Structure 1
Amino acid sequence: MTQPKELDPYTSPRAFYGAELRRLREKAGLSQEQLGERVFCSGTYVGQFESAVRRPQTDVSKQFDEVLGSGEHVQRLCRLARQSKHPDYFADAAELEKQAITISEYAPMLVPGLLQTEAYARALTRAAQTFAPDDEIEGHVRARMERARLLDHPTAPELWVVIHEAALRVPVGGPAVMTEQLERLVGMGRGHHRIVVQVMPFAAGAPAFLNGTVINMTFADSPAVTYTESAYAGQLIDEPALVRQYSKAYDLVRAAALSPEASLARIESVAEDYAKP
């Protein structure tokens, strides 16, 4: 169970949410475990909300209000605390990335966000949001670059990505952008001891995951989760049996991909094709 810690409730909306949840729980004479039982989650999960470790959840906040008799107070704080630089469907996964000890991602058509260059991210965002104003596009790009700085931290998670060869061949932003992007993939794969990059070749046929991005995350003191994404939508999965199924499928994808060294050689070869006049 996450032990209560003293929070300055005015440092962030999430800290205020956690401090208020703790105040209401203690006023009701409930432990974290007792409150968790009433809203069908663990005491540790409640503690992560109270300590501002985990981003508040809308459905659980509604249950907190019902159990604690707080009207819609917790739900209103939840709406404030859930504001994010990332799209709402991805915001929870982005927060969990910061806590993960391992991240395993399969990318069928695009370079994973944590490994994207600024130019690639900009071209991709512009293509996905054709009619958005420039300042909105730049806001998304900045958020993605800030997210990628996670990999520079001394306690960065182990990152294992399997990228389908199709993602290397789709010329996002044109040859110059792709050359820079693929060179970054090679550089990160060879120069970062906590990153492994593999390529799923066309010759491997249909992989276990075909149409959408899949990210498996594990944590030091919380159950593993899986995040899946398609265009303009994503889903965070925490049901243990389904997470295990995704994990086993990822192992099959990893086994069918080229070896790390052969993968980097393939990426280099494609980068050289883009660099040709």
Structure 2
Amino acid sequence: MPAPRTLDPNASRAAAFGAELRRRRTEAQLTQDELGLRAGYSGSQVGAVEVGKRSPTPEFIGGCEKALGPGIREFWASLSGHRDKAPRWFTPWMTEEEQASAIITWEPLVVPGLLQTESYARALLKAERRYGEEEIQALVEARLARQQILTRTKPPRYLVLLDEGSLSRPIGGAEVMAEQLRRLLEATRAPHVTIQIVPLGANPGLSGAIVVAHAANAQRHTVYLETAAEPVVTSAPETVATVTVKLDAIRAGAYPLNASIEFIGKVLERWTSGPN
């Protein structure tokens, strides 16, 4: 029998749950098939959750709790704290984000959430004029918690295509913008993060932000699209194909990485050189 696959509980939320499930199953002296039988699932489904390939559903968690005893549901909830603070419609996307091996983002207006500073995120949410202070605080905490995927042991490759105008848009004032641009420059030092600035002008992405999450097994790609109402999250092949063509066209017109870093630095100088 091959040795159990080594797990990194810090790799993702699903991996943390999988490691805990394996620990509890081993302590109960059950095989994956035996646990699956008691929980109402196959042994292969149990195995997929244990190695972090599949996030547990509420039904799966309930079945495992019946088989292994209480505590599993609470453990999953403890990993989900920041999700409770995020809008309900955003939860499915957070799952895709956490399980992705690569993420490509196009942002025509603002810095994407995974790279926002606390002050910048707070200023954006205040500008929407529909949240109270407590709601803003909860949403900021949720946004910052999402950023942990970029600092985990095995982070996704992250490509950001960012419209030039977003660097000059005064969100929160000069100090906030300077801090935010420093954050972008800091992010580019990580080998898995690439930021490319898209110069002002017409391009296929002016209708809104686009994000594509590529699953680790390369069998599923999920798209997040900004709309006038609630954003859309879909894995429909035709949508993924259309969006991929758009992103390729946008990137073709972007500055290379080094030129983008230089450009961000020049805009930062403008934010720090005088009144804005």
**TM-score normalised by length of structure 2:** 0.71
Task: Give 3-state SS (helix, strand or coil) of 1:192's partner.
Answer: coil
Q: Percent identity over the alignment?
A: 31
Unmatched tracts of structure 2, length 5 or more: 1-17, 25-35, 60-72
1:171 aligns with 2:170: yes
Please tell me whether the aligned partners of residues 86 and 138 of structure 2 are also in contact (alpha carbons under 8 angstroms): no
Following TM superposition, the consecutive aligned residue runs of length 4 or more in structure 1 with deviations greater than 6 angstroms are: 21-24
Q: What is aligned with 2:132?
A: 133
Letter paired with 2:231: G
Q: What is aligned with 1:183?
A: 182
**CA 1:218–1:142 in 2, change beyond 3 Å: closer, same or farther?**
same
Structure 2 matches for 1:95-110, cutoff 5 A? 95-110=95-110
Q: How far apart are residue 241 of structure 1 and its match?
A: 2.4
Residues of 2 paired with 1:94 and 1:159: CA distance?
A: 15
Q: How far apart are residue 85 of structure 1 and its match?
A: 2.3
Q: How far apart are residue 157 of structure 1 and its match?
A: 0.1
Task: Give 3-state SS (helix, strand or coil) of 2:186's partner.
Answer: helix
1:263 aligns with 2:246: no
Task: Give 3-state SS (helix, strand or coil) of 1:101's partner.
Answer: strand
1:34-78: CA deviations, max 9, x gaps?
xxxxxxxxx98xx77xx8934759xxx9xxxxxxxxxxxxxxx9x
Residues of 2 paired with 1:265 and 1:6: CA distance?
A: 45
Please tell me whether the aligned partners of residues 54 and 96 of structure 1 are also in contact (alpha carbons under 8 angstroms): no
Residues of 2 paired with 1:265 and 1:22: CA distance?
A: 58
Q: What is aligned with 2:208?
A: 212
Q: How far apart are residue 209 of structure 1 and its match?
A: 1.0
Please tell me whether the aligned partners of residues 103 and 216 of structure 1 are also in contact (alpha carbons under 8 angstroms): yes
Unmatched tracts of structure 1, length 5 or more: 11-20, 33-42, 62-76
1:144 aligns with 2:147: no
**Cα-Cα RMSD:** 3.4
1:53 aligns with 2:49: no
Structure 2 matches for 1:188-207, cutoff 5 A? 188-189=187-188, 191-202=189-200, 205-207=201-203
Q: What is aligned with 1:120?
A: 120
Task: Give 3-state SS (helix, strand or coil) of 1:258's partner.
Answer: coil
Please tell me whether the aligned partners of residues 55 and 95 of structure 1 are also in contact (alpha carbons under 8 angstroms): no
Task: Give 3-state SS (helix, strand or coil) of 1:233's partner.
Answer: coil
Which range moved further: 191-200 or 130-139? 130-139
Residues of 2 paired with 1:122 and 1:232: CA distance?
A: 21
**CA 1:194–1:212 in 2, change beyond 3 Å: closer, same or farther?**
same
Match of 1:247 among 231, 244, 248: 244
